Structure 1
Amino acid sequence: MPSRYLSFRCSVPWLLLLLQALFLSRAFFAFPSADDINFSSSVYPVFQDVNHMVIFGFGFFLMVLRRYGYSSTGFNFLLIVLGVQFSVLVEDLLLLLRIQYSAFGVESLARAVMSMTAVVISAGAVLGKANPVQLIVMSLVELILFHVPENLTLMHVHLFGAYFGLAVTSRFPEPPPGLDKNRSSPKSELFSVLGTVFVWMFWPSFNSILAELQFQAMLSTYLALAVSAVAAFMLSALTSKDGKFRMAHIHSAVLAGGVTMSFTAIIIKHPWIAMILGLLGSVISILGSHCLQRCFNPPLKLQDTSGVHFTFGLPAVLGAVAAVVLRVVEKGIIEQWSDLPSLGYLIFLEVGAFCQTISTAFITGLITGLILNIKLLKAVHVSKYFDDQFYWEFPHLSVGF
């Protein structure tokens, strides 16, 4: 490795060793016996789907930068295998503090893997700017913040992850205007869309693995994903200057239906509602990408590297609003709109949980971003942003790219 690149030999290996020792000690003293482990053979295939989605799908989904492919997939895998263990540890400690019992099994692992989606989404916002130590610290802090509040359920995972990541990345220095490494290439876009396809395929399992009515959630999610994919191709051709498809649109908008259904899949009773939400999710994703990148990102200094705001943030907001409307309509029909105070209280709770999720993500994200930029964590210089060679060996390259 050239001398101008820093060595993380004295930081990353020892941090990983310390964390793994913590996980091992907790498992040694608290891991349940074989009789206490809750195993369901029907859940494990769906758990495999979710695991493929988070590790393989998101790993390639983040390969959008032409010089950051090694780091995108490698660091994503590292964060997940560390984060799943830490998530189980945090959940276990919270259960002990509340004097509750929850059988360890595939479902607890599934919750841990699903919670890592928030971390992966946040990592996409700071893609190419945070070193491994910063990413690990960010993951640990975010998992604690995600698990502790009572109202942050797994359906808020995309909402929390997107706005937490945007707040964190706003605290990083902006890259110089002449830096061209933050662009994509046809090869990197192809790998990124490959990850998008895998995420798309396994998203119905993600939304239904912990649902009581699994078939209903799976059906609603698939229909919404199908409509959002069709709408993505349609809107891409309509909004581009020359009437051609843009891979950036397909990369983000085809997943909008799945993000929206994360809030509403379990409460939708009619397939046409899911299809309409999938269409609206794709519309808000593509139109949001135009408006945000041109109008809001420059003045607000939002450095959204992989577009998590319009890929996950905006569709999640749409899903949260749709969930409030559907719950109010369902309760109103059951009670024949006679108990208006009860409906008002329901709206207050749902909107309050939504607002608290975003505000918590923003505030804690800003604080985390400030923490990540202290000297102890060896922040990367802006000239080394989006550069694989800063972290990985390239024996065939003697000087650089």
Structure 2
Amino acid sequence: MPSRYLNFRCSVPWLLLSLQTLFLIRSFFGFSGAGEIYCPSSFYPEFQDVNHMVIFGFGFFLVVLRRYGFSSTGFNFLLIVLGVQCSVLVEDFLVFLRVQQSEVGMRSLAKAVVSMAAVVISTGAVLGKANPVQLIVMTLVELIFLYVSRCINRKFLQVPEHLALMHVHLFGAYFGLAATSRFPEAPPGLDKGRSTPKSELFSVLGTVFVWVFWPSFNSLLADSKKRAVLNTYLALAVSAVAAFMLSALTSKDGKFRMAHIHGAVLAGGVTVSCTAHTIQHPWIAMILGLLGSAITVLGSHCAQRCFHPALKLQDTSGVHFTFGLPAVLGAVAAVVLCVVEKGMDKQWNDLSSLGYLIFVDVGAFCQTISTALITGLITGLMLNTKLLKAVHVSKYFDDQFYWEFPHLSVGF
């Protein structure tokens, strides 16, 4: 067994033990009243949907590589259960600094699970290249920066809590792209970096899980839950139809491509994440779903050949087209809808107030994406230090480096 593998046995268990001890100490001193924490909550059904979506949905969504299925699902589950506890700890620290109000119980836990969506999306960009220690460190660092970005939007730009939380797709996608750009590039034509029909089938199964529960994700903390659910479902439905249509139109022989379906069916939910609770007419959500699916399919079909090689973007799971570009489209759509709705309400009399609202929306978007890119680059450089034992490119995309396979143990 390679010595580099033994180093993980000497580091991962002790890192997990240290973190869990810290979380236990926090839970011992952090919770003030058990009655308030364990009181019955009508919040649980939506929380359960989001929990299923993040664990089951994204867990199988990441199974795109032929020899990385164990790690995709196993590491995803480990990062979520660690990250949720870390999110609660970070939120308690912000309460201690009086940056935000204290929230306990199911609502605090739900916000932590939603925040983990950013980490899962970033994990998709570095999938197969980062070892468990790097993934754990990336999770902790990203959650801290994510909360800092949300606090800036909420405190200085007066962005509502729900909208600040819905920037997780934007932050996660570009944080992951920036972080993975600091990893050594895999050799061209590496067989382990390809997918198989079986891995693609599992990945689409995860996509279906995420698709089913996405309305609960968008409406979890929204003021108008019914409107958010309706608009999100319609956007998802249109994006799914458009995914099949555009996939057949862009393929050479007119057949459907599973890679297109894998990403584009979710684009509608990402696109309306910031506006689902405010859209007044369902046809607007349907148009956004159509545009989100189009930008995903056409982006993966055209821009991947032009911009990814030039910018040297590494994106194992295609999170740039599945989450990044639709999130950018959604942020632009939020500004446009704000101009149209506020302008019609005020009949363009109070231009200074309208300009301030536009400035807030644009500023929140620019701040989120800038923070994600800068902190992602810093995190990527930190992950590739000798202390974290970066994996050699020959060991990329391989379960056997981390998991026990009894029938393959001889000679390993």
* Residues 60 and 73, structure 2, Cα contact 8 Å, conserved in 1: yes
TM-superposed CA distance for 1:348, in Å, is 1.4
TM-superposed CA distance for 1:32, in Å, is 2.6
Per-residue deviation, residues 96-123 of structure 1 (Å, max 9, x unmatched): 1117542311111000000000000000
List aligned pairs for 1:2-401, cutoff 5 A.
2-3=1-2, 6-7=5-6, 8-37=8-37, 39=39, 41-98=41-98, 101-149=101-149, 150=151, 151=153, 153-398=164-409
Which amino acid in structure 2 is aligned with residue 113 of structure 1? V
Per-residue deviation, residues 115-170 of structure 1 (Å, max 9, x unmatched): 00000000000000000000000000000001123217111000000000000000
Which amino acid in structure 1 is aligned with residue 2 of structure 2? S
* Residues 227 and 276, structure 2, Cα contact 8 Å, conserved in 1: yes
Say which SS state the counterpart of residue 6 (structure 1) adopts.
helix
Per-residue deviation, residues 33-68 of structure 1 (Å, max 9, x unmatched): 223327453210111000000000000000000000
* Residues 36 and 103, structure 1, Cα contact 8 Å, conserved in 2: no
Question: Normalising by structure 1, what TM-score?
Answer: 0.97
Identity percentage over the alignment?
Answer: 80
* Residues 57 and 198, structure 1, Cα contact 8 Å, conserved in 2: yes
Per-residue deviation, residues 180-219 of structure 1 (Å, max 9, x unmatched): 1110000000000000000000000000111111000000
For residues 385 and 399 of structure 1, what CA distance do their matches in structure 2 show?
21
Which amino acid in structure 1 is aligned with residue 23 of structure 2? F
Say which SS state the counterpart of residue 193 (structure 2) adopts.
coil
Question: Normalising by structure 2, what TM-score?
Answer: 0.95
TM-superposed CA distance for 1:328, in Å, is 1.7
For residues 112 and 12 of structure 2, what CA distance do their matches in structure 1 show?
23
For residues 20 and 322 of structure 1, what CA distance do their matches in structure 2 show?
41
* Residues 250 and 301, structure 2, Cα contact 8 Å, conserved in 1: no
Which amino acid in structure 1 is aligned with residue 72 of structure 2? S
* Residues 118 and 168, structure 2, Cα contact 8 Å, conserved in 1: yes
For residues 129 and 285 of structure 1, what CA distance do their matches in structure 2 show?
24
For residues 194 and 286 of structure 1, what CA distance do their matches in structure 2 show?
19
For residues 298 and 101 of structure 1, what CA distance do their matches in structure 2 show?
45
For residues 279 and 59 of structure 2, what CA distance do their matches in structure 1 show?
31
For residues 123 and 100 of structure 2, what CA distance do their matches in structure 1 show?
32
For residues 372 and 99 of structure 1, what CA distance do their matches in structure 2 show?
29
Taking a change above 3 Å as real, the CA distance of residues 400 and 209 of structure 1, as seen in their structure-2 partners, is farther
Taking a change above 3 Å as real, the CA distance of residues 212 and 21 of structure 1, as seen in their structure-2 partners, is same
* RMSD of Structure 2 on Structure 1 (CA): 1.4
For residues 285 and 20 of structure 2, what CA distance do their matches in structure 1 show?
42
Deviates more, 1:261-270 or 1:55-64: 261-270
For residues 61 and 69 of structure 2, what CA distance do their matches in structure 1 show?
10
For residues 39 and 133 of structure 1, what CA distance do their matches in structure 2 show?
37
TM-superposed CA distance for 1:378, in Å, is 0.3
For residues 303 and 313 of structure 2, what CA distance do their matches in structure 1 show?
9
For residues 221 and 100 of structure 2, what CA distance do their matches in structure 1 show?
19
* Residues 179 and 376, structure 2, Cα contact 8 Å, conserved in 1: yes
For residues 318 and 246 of structure 1, what CA distance do their matches in structure 2 show?
23
For residues 364 and 99 of structure 1, what CA distance do their matches in structure 2 show?
21
The aligned length equals 400
For residues 348 and 99 of structure 1, what CA distance do their matches in structure 2 show?
23
Which amino acid in structure 2 is aligned with residue 43 of structure 1? F
Which amino acid in structure 2 is aligned with residue 134 of structure 1? Q
* Residues 5 and 390, structure 1, Cα contact 8 Å, conserved in 2: no
Structure 1 stretches lacking a partner, 5+ long: none
* Residues 192 and 397, structure 2, Cα contact 8 Å, conserved in 1: yes
Which amino acid in structure 2 is aligned with residue 77 of structure 1? F
Structure 2 stretches lacking a partner, 5+ long: 155-163
For residues 80 and 323 of structure 2, what CA distance do their matches in structure 1 show?
19
